[in-house]
Amino acid sequence: MSPAPPGLTVAADRVQADLESLAALVEPGLPGWTRTALGPVDRQARELVRRWMSDAGLETSVDGAGNIFGRLRGTGSGRALMVGSHTDTVLGGGRFDGIVGVVGALEAVRALREAGVRLEHDLVVVDFFHEEPNEFGLSCVGSRAMVGAISAAHLDLRDERDRSLAAALAAVDVDPSALLGARHDFARVDAFVELHIEQGPYLEEHGSQIGLVESITGISRFRALFSGQADHAGTAPMDRRRDAGCAAAGTVLAVERIAGEGMQTRGTSGQLTFTPAAVNVVTAHAEFRGELRGPEEEWLRSAQDALTAAAHDEGSRRGVDVEVDWLPLQEPTAMSDGVVSVLGDVVDGLGLSSTRLFSGAEHDAALIARAVPTGMLFVPSRDGRSHCPEEWTDLNDVVAGVTALTHALLALD
Ligand code: GLV
Ligand code: MN
Ligand code: MN
Ligand code: MN
């Protein structure tokens, strides 16, 4: 562990300018701050990050999964500390989710260089490709590829138009076979730290400047298809219909009921499509995608069974055929005790208030933790809002997080 040099300061104006430059890259005509990974603009954001990495004196590279890396050589023999987050957003999302951790990582490197600090470790800044879930239900595509958790079956996932994920990736210049081969060699990486906005109300409610993440939620996503029969809305008697829309709607309520059982369990019905989608036609087909989250794998598995049973029950009461497909379950992930305790000491040493907490949001850190001791720092989100245009974190809170991150790199060295 190296002592903190006196001149080590994070430049708030640079952090603000970088956040604003990235946030300005949005898809025209879409709500909020939309920069989806499979859309036309995210690539510009990642190219901009790569340019900033070069300007900051990092050696840049891109792997087969589209992850952008910037390496600052240390004085040692190539052992590394990894730090970063993502630049893509959800549809209609906010300004801070993801980019705070990328801008913060870059600023940490600049601050260390300007203070004349040379770490023994190489510092590797990563902008992970495609963290947010796509229309195929897959998230954390870049970090998943890095830990070898992507298979050919993932690439054959289909969207509503029966397009494969492989085709969608190729359309944004990510070669599907290169992605499958993008497993990262973590043998010389000693730790990974991700800075992120909290995206929930806990830090604000507890008056804490920093959250020390202890574990990240497990997630189970599904696609349910309901097939009934189209009929005339005015003449088909109610007791003779095979209404796929009603069966799907009953399943939406089952998601809410099942996830309502626990304190930290969650269930969300994010996408529902009716066909033929006409006001005077009984729905013949419904496609429904949603997810369950919680801190315990056992609960997730039993909730999967309960939801599958509920969907079949809703279907069979109405003569509707039902198919429920679950993506591979993403287990809840503990952060490394060692890294979390270093982060806690650093935050205390800086005089920042902190709370340990559980993350109900998903993060690249959950994937990277499979390969490397990992920790996360959260900064507060106003009113706990996120994945919406109202998402906000005050600059001084972001700067506190970047300062903690910078000092954490010194402490982990
Ligand atoms: C990603 O932000 C997620 O938690 O879904
Ligand atoms: Mn997000
Ligand atoms: Mn995020
Ligand atoms: Mn996320």
DSSP character at residue 387? S
Q: In the structure encoding, which two tokens stand for residue 342, read together? A: 């270093």
φ/ψ bin of 141: left (φ > 0), alpha (ψ from -120 to 50), beta (otherwise): alpha
Which pLDDT tens digit goes with each residue over 109-118? Answer: 999 999 999 9
Ligand 1 first shell, C-beta below 6 A: 132, 361-362
Question: What is the model's pTM?
Answer: 0.95
Q: Which of 380, 220, 204, 389 is nearest to 290 (CA)?
A: 220
The residues spanned by each domain of the chain are 12-217+332-412, 219-326
CA dist., res. 337 & res. 88, Å (int)? 29
Across the strands, what pairs with 77? none
Ligand 2 centroid distance, CA of 188 (Å) = 29
What is the per-residue pLDDT for 18?
98
Ligand 4 centroid distance, CA of 96 (Å) = 11
Q: Per-residue pLDDT for 204 more than 80?
A: yes
What is the per-residue pLDDT for 151?
93
ipTM of the complex: 0.90
Give helix then strand counts, H and E, for the chain.
Answer: 13, 13
Confidence of residue 159 (pLDDT cuts 50, 70, 90): confident
What is the biggest distance separating any 2 CA atoms in the chain, rounded to whole angstroms? 80
Q: Which of 200, 128, 189 is nearest to 336 (CA)?
A: 189
Which pLDDT tens digit goes with each residue over 299-311? Answer: 999 999 999 999 9
Q: Is 132 annotated as a binding residue?
A: yes
Q: Per-residue pLDDT for 2 more than 70?
A: no
Confidence of residue 153 (pLDDT cuts 50, 70, 90): very high
CA 182 to chain centre: 19
Q: Per-residue pLDDT for 3 more than 70?
A: no
Q: Is 14 annotated as a binding residue?
A: no
Q: In the structure encoding, which two tokens stand for residue 267, read together? A: 């269930």
Ligand 4 centroid distance, CA of 77 (Å) = 33
Give percent of the chain above pLDDT 70. 99
Ligand 1 centroid distance, CA of 181 (Å) = 25
Which pLDDT tens digit goes with each residue over 25-37? Answer: 999 999 999 999 9
CA dist., res. 18 & res. 229, Å (int)? 53
- CB contact at 8 A, 361 and 199: yes
Q: Fold match between 12-217+332-412 and 219-326? A: no
The CATH number of the structural domain formed by 12-217+332-412 is: 3.40.630.10
**Rounded mean pLDDT, 75-98:** 97
Across the strands, what pairs with 81? 123, 191
Q: Which residues have a beta carbon within 5 Å of ligand 4, which is an ion?
A: 361-362
CA dist., res. 87 & res. 90, Å (int)? 10
Whether domain 219-326 has CATH 3.30.70.360: the reply is yes
CA dist., res. 152 & res. 21, Å (int)? 36
Q: Ligand 1 atom closest to Cα of 360?
A: 4
Q: Ligand 1 atom closest to Cα of 387?
A: 2
Q: Per-residue pLDDT for 175 more than 80?
A: yes
- Residue 171 has φ and ψ, to the nearest 5°, of -65, -20
